[in-house]
Structure 1
Amino acid sequence: MSNKRKRYTPEFKAKVALAALKNEETTAELSQRFGVHPTMIASWKRALMDGATDV
């Protein structure tokens, strides 16, 4: 049996990353709310921060 990797839209990633930047909820809470692994949230948050330096 093969497992398909879930793909997320850039809009969804940005939404989750921005929520993580607000620091109103823990990564675990965001993970549960959005159904995404905490490692992915940290990765998207880091990517958003790295991209923000180009603005």
Structure 2
Amino acid sequence: MRISMDGRGRYLDNIFIERLWRSLKQEAIYLEEIADGFQARRVVKNWMAFYNNKRPHSALDRRTPDEAYWAALEEQKAA
């Protein structure tokens, strides 16, 4: 990952995290009645585990990020 500090491409650097935050809010935060910080932390933690381990992503050929990461790691070892 490379940090863009020159201003050209800044929006492209930020778009991925903005999509992640939008998904988190729409799929978890807005659906829960959160009473305190402990519950908020639990909701975010559970959703992130779901997002990385169970939710297939179209950009990853319907694989989870966890599956894509470990497959890439195995390909690197094989090479």
> Quick check: TM above 0.5?
no
For normalisation by structure 2, the TM-score amounts to 0.27
Give 1 or 2 for the bigger CA radius of gyration: 2
Higher helix share: 2
Higher relative contact order (CA 8 A, sep 6+): 1
- Give the structure-1-normalised TM-score: 0.37
